[in-house]
Amino acid sequence: MNQQILRQFHLNIYMNDSSNESLGFGYNILLNNTPYIHQSAIPAVGGNHFFRTEEQAKTVASFVSYKIQNNIMPPTITQHELDSLGISIK
């Protein structure tokens, strides 16, 4: 009997510091209501560079979620992928 496991993903986009917008945005990916990935800075770049907008964080979180759902593991992000998604650190 072939059982398919139902996995539910939820993206949570948040402001890193509600009193300081310059610290940008981050995201959480929940898998079946359990924290799976917590990302407060842009992945694949050195240092603490934050997503400047909520939309940037959502774009990358959605792409990481896509990788997980399609068993592309680990769901790391490369600099090339960030460029392709229109995410820059400048």
pLDDT tens digits for range 16-75:
998 887 889 999 999 999 999 999 999 999 888 999 999 999 999 999 999 999 999 999
For the entire predicted model, the pTM comes to 0.88
The pLDDT score that the predictor gives to residue 21 is 75
The pLDDT score that the predictor gives to residue 80 is 96
**Closest Cα to residue 61, out of 45, 48, 73, 43?**
43
For 19, phi then psi, to 5°, come to -100, 0
Spatial distance between the Cα atoms of 61 and 24, rounded to a whole number of angstroms: 15
